[in-house]
Chains A and B, each alone.
Chain A
Amino acid sequence: GPGGVAVPRAGLKKYILPPDYSGIVFPEKTKLKFMDKVPAVPKVKREPRYLRDIRGPSREATDFIQGQYGILALGGGYLHWGHFEMIRLTIAHNMDPKNMFAIWRVPAPYKPVTRKSLGHRMGGGKGPIDHYVTAVKSGRLVVEVGGRCEFEEVKPFLTQVVQKLPFPAVPISRDGLREMRREEEEKKLNNQNPWTFERIVTANMLGMRKYLSPYDLRFKGRYWGKFFLKHRV
């Protein structure tokens, strides 16, 4: 046009290099291992509930080991054999065993859960062992997927798996995890609120510790029961 206005049209084609998959080590078996319903040496002794293995942040399996993408748990919960089978089958069905691999980051069910038979009154002792479960705390990786693939390829079936888990979870990549941690730090730094949970609890302002648990010193308002409150700083 008469102003010399640039008419948009296709410019020079920018050739992007294909991704570099050189540093990837494949495990021997690329598919997920079959997890037993009952551990090899089943626990004869029934154990108390110990719900504290659901509470709070996870200390193990918080970072990636071999794979590039994974499922991050954002809440606590128990995974039983049905969940394991679901994960194993969904991932095996949707992935390419030649170019992708998946590994478990949770152990097979080890914790016995007792159930009393239906319809009976209270009392009569503790019920027999019904099934076994694995405890998962928030911030733990459940499975890791890797190989010569991109996150966009892996995300659909990981999202499928995530929707069926008993706790909130999210498919995530290495970069995504790093980004999440960075954002948390940033939020902590640029919080305009001078009053933080941590500050009030450690100084026991207004006698707040009367209404809080000693665990809140550690959890700092981000965990409540088995739930992880992501929006809180």
Chain B
Amino acid sequence: APLPRGPVLSAAPVPLSAGWLPALHFVRRGSKAVTRHWKAMHFQRQKLMAVTEYLAPRPAIPPRCLPPKRETVEEDNGYARLLRRQVEEVFRDNRMIAVCQCNSMPNDDMVMMKKYFRKHNIEIKFVLNEIVRHVLSQSKYKNLLPLFVTRNILLVSREMKVKEVLRVLKGIPQVNLLGACIDNTILSRQGVENFAKLPPLEAAQGQTVGALALLPSQMSSLLQGGPTHLTALLDQHIHRLQAGETGSLAEPSPAHSPGAH
């Protein structure tokens, strides 16, 4: 019969049946019961000890074959919550957010860079990846997640100063632009450069208006083109008829008619 497994065996302690006392006790020979040395056991007792040894449970799947249990990190950390709130605020308040990879650079250079950006009203924010990733994964900016791998900084501002950003970053080799989120549009590095090359808003608006207004401006001339041509032709015809009447008396009109055209 298969051995019963698990705690079923001793979970409900069945009262052990009392046995009978032996009529003949084994005479204890040799040393007393309690000795300073390890007293040799009777062979029967040794066999009993061997039989009643502890057998550890063996589950069907050994625990090392199962996927490791990830202990969930508690997010009760108030400091982490504060930082997350700050990141959310940043994403909400600013129109332009540029994500850059920041390598280590001398402190003086860092201060200069901050100064240049401050002049254009751009702030630099140092962010910890584990916080930003958590915030982004729960917001709509999921596509920005692959950018936050190594040391990153965020350049945030309310105005669109892409040209200045690119200019400053060109002078600093340690900071590389990875991508940007401008007006809730995610742009890659190429996109940012293209965006910088675009003309300013007023000029673009003027261009679109001009392009749109081109056709209507031509519309009146197009519509009037047919009747004007007809009137011109009729005028010519009248001239020719009149010239024909008077020309029959004087010089022939063919000399004038090609010239009248």
Contacts and interface: CB of A to CB of B under 8 A. Distances in A.
B4 interface: yes
Q: Is the interface of B mostly helix, strand, loop or mixed?
A: loop
A189 interface: yes
Contacts of A54: 34
B60 to A, nearest CB: 13
Contacts of A233: 53-54
A10 B237 CA distance: 94
Given A12-B131, A212-B45, A200 B52 contact: yes
Interface in A1-43: 1, 4-7, 9, 11-12, 14-15
Contacts of B41: 224
Interface string B11-42: 10000111111101110000011111011011
Given A11-B130, A221-B52, A232-B54, A5 B19 contact: no
Contacts of A224: 38-39, 41
Interface string B44-74: 1100110111111110000000000000000
Interface in A47-62: 51-52, 54-55
A202 B19 CA distance: 6
Contact of B149 (A6, A15, A197): A6
Contacts of A225: 33-35, 38-39
B259 to A, nearest CB: 78
Contacts of B104: none
Contact of B7 (A12, A190, A203, A211): A190
Contact of A188 (B10, B33, B49, B146): B10
A209 B21 contact: yes
B92 interface: no
A30 to B, nearest CB: 35
A192 B48 contact: no
B247 interface: no
B162 interface: no
Interface in B156-203: none
Contact of B38 (A187, A208, A227, A232): A227
Contacts of B220: none
Contact of A12 (B32, B39, B52, B79): B79
A205 B3 contact: no
B16 A199 contact: yes
B128 A202 contact: no
A209 B149 contact: no
B81 to A, nearest CB: 11
B77 interface: yes
Nearest to B45: A211
From B18, B52, B131, B146, residue with most partner A Cβ within 10 Å: B52
B34 A221 contact: no
Nearest to A7: B150
A4 B146 contact: yes
Contacts of B54: 187, 191, 193, 231-233
B255 interface: no
A165 to B, nearest CB: 14
A143 to B, nearest CB: 23
A194 B150 CA distance: 57
B53 A232 contact: yes
B140 interface: no
Contacts of A4: 145-146, 149
Nearest to A229: B49
Contact of B57 (A190, A202, A232): A190
Contact of B77 (A14, A209, A213, A232): A14
Contacts of B210: none
B254 interface: no
A204 interface: yes
B5 interface: yes
A45 interface: no
From B11, B54, B151, residue with most partner A Cβ within 10 Å: B54
B19 A192 contact: no
- Which 8 pairs of residues, A with B, have the shortest CB-CB distance? A204-B19, A51-B34, A192-B55, A202-B16, A193-B55, A233-B54, A211-B44, A197-B52
25 contacts: A11-B128, A12-B128, A12-B130, A55-B33, A189-B11, A190-B7, A191-B10, A191-B55, A192-B3, A192-B55, A192-B56, A194-B4, A195-B52, A200-B51, A200-B52, A203-B17, A208-B44, A209-B21, A210-B26, A221-B48, A224-B38, A224-B41, A225-B38, A227-B38, A232-B49
Interface of A: 1, 4-7, 9, 11-12, 14-15, 51-52, 54-55, 76, 187-200, 202-205, 207-213, 215, 221, 224-227, 231-233
